[in-house]
Amino acid sequence: MTIRSSSFLATCVLAAACGGRTSEPGSAQLEAGDGDHDGSAQNEGGVAPSEASASTCVAASGYALCGGPNDCFPVADQGKGSACWSCDPYYGYDMVLCANAVIPGGPQAGLASDGEVYVEAIAPGAWETVPFDVGELFAANGAGDRVRYADWSAWTGAPLPDPTACPQFGSFSTCGGACLPCPVELTCTGRSPLHMYGLCADASSNQSFCDAAQGWSCPQGDACMVFEVSSEDQSYADAAGICFPTSVCQSIASQYPGGAYCHTG
């Protein structure tokens, strides 16, 4: 398995929020599998940890780990007959995600969709999107510090809020829970314990993203929206901003439940 670190989100967070590293681990492209999975289960008050995990090494969504404190899938246990076809613990971590039937080419970089989280799946600073239960799996294997919610806040193990009503705003749309789904060309992202609702955002190209910390700006007429998180985590959110028309960005900053910032410079 090799690493795909070419996406904007992976490289910008690598440079701005992980000690200033700018080199990309690995040299080849990791082809993405189907990243649009939601392994969460609902209960009263939120999306709760799954009770259907196959083991300490495999999430209910089918994602699997190798290595780590539970010695998941040593080489002798890997192969097409197992949940772990292969893995490459050679990029800085001794516990990584396996390639398997769910992600035959490995994990996917990009913008976390609703119900997903970010994990450092293979290498420090290379963040990939995975179902919520994979964050639980990492935490159960002692790597909760390698997990972040979709707004880039630190993993706490808290479930996602599951609101039963959805506020309406004139210039932007919230999503998740009881909200209407986003239009097909937009992605619902950002729902976390700090942000009850996600935002419908355009993730269609690298020009959709911005880095408020390093000056990777948006196209003319747009501004850089970043989720408001704790002061300790804000650098992660700042490095993974999303471009919106300036007036929309400013509306989000003033009205979005949970808080956001709009950088117009």
Of residues 151, 152, 265, the one with CA closest to residue 217 = 265
Query: Does the residue 94 lie in any domain?
Result: yes
Percent helix, strand, coil in the chain, to 5, is 15, 25, 60
Cα distances (Å, whole numbers) of residue 101 to 33, 96, 98, 139:
9, 16, 10, 22
Query: Does the residue 23 lie in any domain?
Result: yes
* Dihedral sign, Cα of residue 120, residue 206, residue 183, residue 227: positive
Burial of 148 (0-12, 13-18, 19+ CB in 10 A): buried
For 258, the domain range is 174-263
Considering the domain architecture, whether residues 224 and 141 belong to the same structural domain is answered as: no
Query: Does the residue 164 lie in any domain?
Result: no
Considering the domain architecture, whether residues 19 and 93 belong to the same structural domain is answered as: yes
76: number of Cβ within 10 Å: 6
Specify the number of domains making up the chain. 2
Query: Does the residue 166 lie in any domain?
Result: no
CA dihedral 237, 238, 239, 245 (to 10 degrees): 100
**pTM greater than 0.75 (yes/no):** yes
169 vs 31: CA distance, rounded Å = 37
Encoded tokens for 22: 């700018």
Q: What is the pLDDT along the chain (265 residues), one digit of tens a residue?
A: 333 233 344 433 433 333 332 222 222 222 333 333 333 333 333 333 333 335 899 999 999 999 999 999 999 999 999 999 999 888 889 999 999 999 998 788 899 999 999 999 999 999 999 999 999 999 999 999 999 999 999 999 999 999 899 999 999 999 998 899 999 999 999 999 999 999 999 988 878 999 998 877 899 999 999 999 999 999 999 999 999 999 999 999 999 999 999 999 7
The set of residues, in sequence order, having a beta carbon less than 8 Å from that of 164 and lying 6+ positions away, is 177, 178
185 vs 118: CA distance, rounded Å = 21
